[in-house]
Amino acid sequence: MPLEISPGLTIADDEFEWKFIRAGGPGGQNVNKVSSAVQLRFNLPFNTSIPVAARNRLRRLAGQKLLDDGTILIAARTERSQEQNRRAALERLAALVRAALIEPKARRKTRPTKASKERRIDSKKRRGATKIGRSGHWD
C-alpha cells in the first residue's frame, strides 16, 4: 500500500525497506520472543516522486535520521505490535516529508523607519541622562 503524503504525492511501497527487531520495554515474555520494533529505511537519493527542492529540505530536516548513504532511517518501538509500529514509522516519515514540502518564505530586507530611529536615540538619551543624574555630575 503506497504512502499518501498529499493529494498529488504518494510514495510507492518498493521505496521502503523494513527491518524488524526486538524491542525492550513492557510486554512481559512477549518482548523476548517477538520482533515488534520496526526500522524503516527510505532511500532518498533514488526517490523521484518528491520534488528536488523538497528533497534537499528533507535532507536538512532529517538531521540524525539521515545516514551517510542518503537513506533516512526511522525507528519505531513504542507500540507493542509490529503493525502499530509500522504505521507509526510511516506516519513519522509522512510528517517529515510534509514539512519538507512547505517552501520557506524568502526574507525581505527592511530598513528601520525614521521615527523608529528617533525613538531609539531618544530612549538612549533618556537612559544616559538618568545615569549622569546618579553619578552626581551636573552639566
pLDDT of res. 124: 97
pLDDT of res. 137: 66
Picking from 43, 45, 57, 51, the residue whose alpha carbon sits closest to that of residue 99 is 57
b/e 39-68 (16+ beta carbons within 10 angstroms → b):
bbbbebeebebbeeebbebbeebbeebbee
Picking from 98, 95, 83, 71, the residue whose alpha carbon sits closest to that of residue 1 is 83
pLDDT of res. 91: 92
pTM (2 decimals)?
A: 0.70
pLDDT of res. 70: 86
pLDDT of res. 119: 97
The CATH architecture assigned to 3-101 reads: 2-Layer Sandwich (3.30)
pLDDT along the chain (139 residues), means of 10: 80 84 70 79 86 89 89 87 88 91 91 96 95 78
pLDDT of res. 28: 65
> How many Å is the Cα radius of gyration of the chain?
27
Domain spans in the chain, listed from the N-terminal domain onward = 3-101
